[in-house]
Amino acid sequence: MSNTIFVVKSYQPSLKSEWDGFVKKAKNATFLFYRDFMDYHGDRFKDVSVMIYKNDELFALLPANVVGNKVISHQGLTYGSFVLKDSAKLLTALEAFKAMLAYYEAQGLEEIEIRVIPTFYNKMPSDELDYFLYKANAQLLKKDVLMVIDYAHKLRFQKNRREGINKALRSGLELKVDSNFEGFWNDVLIPNLENKHGIKPVHTLEEIELLASRFPEHIKQVNIYKDNKVVAGTTVFLTATTVHPQYVSGNRDKNSFGSLDLAYYFIINDMCEDKRYFDFNISSEDHGSKINEGLIFWKESCGARSHTANTFLVKTNSHKNLKVPRV
């Protein structure tokens, strides 16, 4: 490894095809890391993504934006990662990680915040980043609880959830996989988020329609109709390993009609071909310090069990103290 030379380059649009080609084959990436997904909201974030080359061959990526003197991987994405090729070995990857830290330090950027991609999204074992952050004395900023179904050890829906499904069928609800994002966004999702939390969806209707047109195999809309009107739905993100409902919402009659039980039963059981996991997303609040008991109970009754996702803060100058054994 003594003859290995790493060169770190700032991402440029001219490198898009090389970036995307690497993401497609990487062992710890999802479609969220493709530039057509990252760049749809490029006006909101100042991109400082980097590409790390080993002896002129692309070896690793970091999707990132910058705020002040802090690099964040990535505010516009659900998670970030130090993206590696499938043949990457531990000590070589550590050299690349050191080179990335040194590059950002030379740019006057003092720290990097990374919400590490949950391991079940990886195509093969890839805990290098978690280990590198430990070796660099990174600070754990938060530990979120996710609820996940492992399809290899799938649990049956509990009685209360099965009763909700039967209620939905008796209520004459109709489930459709369609492209009616507008009906879900305007009639269900936006009003619910505004009334309950005073917030808006992360994606606007126009943005989610654009992303769905760019990634039709990865983004699906499942709607529940009552008398031809959308009463509940979920926008589902499909990765190589995982089914993930990015947005889920139902109108005020969701409990009496069982509309969300029907939606979840379908996406858990009918969209899982070639998938290993179902990710219900975060069920903790306030940087992981509080558990949302209602969400936990509901998701566990669907057969989910706990997983964690960590967010770290690492100093860029820590590369000076990372020792790489010579082999």
CA distance 57 to 209: 35
Task: Look at residue 125 and tell me whether its pLDDT is greater than 50.
Answer: yes
* Range with lowest mean pLDDT among 9-23, 174-188, 239-253, 278-292: 278-292
Confidence of residue 290 (pLDDT cuts 50, 70, 90): confident
Task: Dump pLDDT digits (tens) for 173-208.
Answer: 999 999 999 999 999 999 999 988 889 998 999 999
Mean of the per-residue pLDDT values of the chain: 93
Task: Look at residue 142 and tell me whether its pLDDT is greater than 50.
Answer: yes
Task: Look at residue 327 and tell me whether its pLDDT is greater than 60.
Answer: no
Rounded to 5 degrees, φ, ψ at 172 are 75, 25
Tokens of 199: 């917030």
pLDDT of residue 197: 82
Q: Are residues 170 and 264 in the same domain?
A: yes
Task: Dump pLDDT digits (tens) for 277-288.
Answer: 999 988 777 766
Confidence of residue 1 (pLDDT cuts 50, 70, 90): very low
Confidence of residue 3 (pLDDT cuts 50, 70, 90): low
pLDDT of residue 169: 86
229 lies in some domain: yes
Q: Are residues 258 and 235 in the same domain?
A: yes
| Average pLDDT of the residues in 243-260 | 87
CA distance 163 to 147: 21
* Range with lowest mean pLDDT among 168-172, 242-246, 302-306: 168-172
Q: Which domain holds residue 55?
A: 6-143+310-321
99 lies in some domain: yes
Tokens of 17: 């095809």
Secondary structure element (H or E) that encloses residue 253, with its range: none
Q: Are residues 32 and 137 in the same domain?
A: yes
Task: Look at residue 254 and tell me whether its pLDDT is greater than 80.
Answer: no
pLDDT of residue 59: 98
User: Rg for the chain (alpha carbons), in Å?
Assistant: 21
CA distance 120 to 146: 11
| 8 Å CB contact between 126 and 28 | yes
| 8 Å CB contact between 312 and 111 | no
Task: Name the more confident of 160 and 177.
Answer: 177
326 lies in some domain: no
Looking at the structure of the chain, the number of domains it has is: 2
pLDDT of residue 65: 97
Task: Look at residue 85 and tell me whether its pLDDT is greater than 90.
Answer: yes
pLDDT of residue 233: 96
Q: Are residues 137 and 10 in the same domain?
A: yes
Residues 6+ apart with CB under 8 A from 19: 11, 35, 49, 51, 61
pLDDT of residue 287: 65
pTM here is: 0.92
| Average pLDDT of the residues in 223-238 | 96
Q: Are residues 168 and 126 in the same domain?
A: no
23 lies in some domain: yes
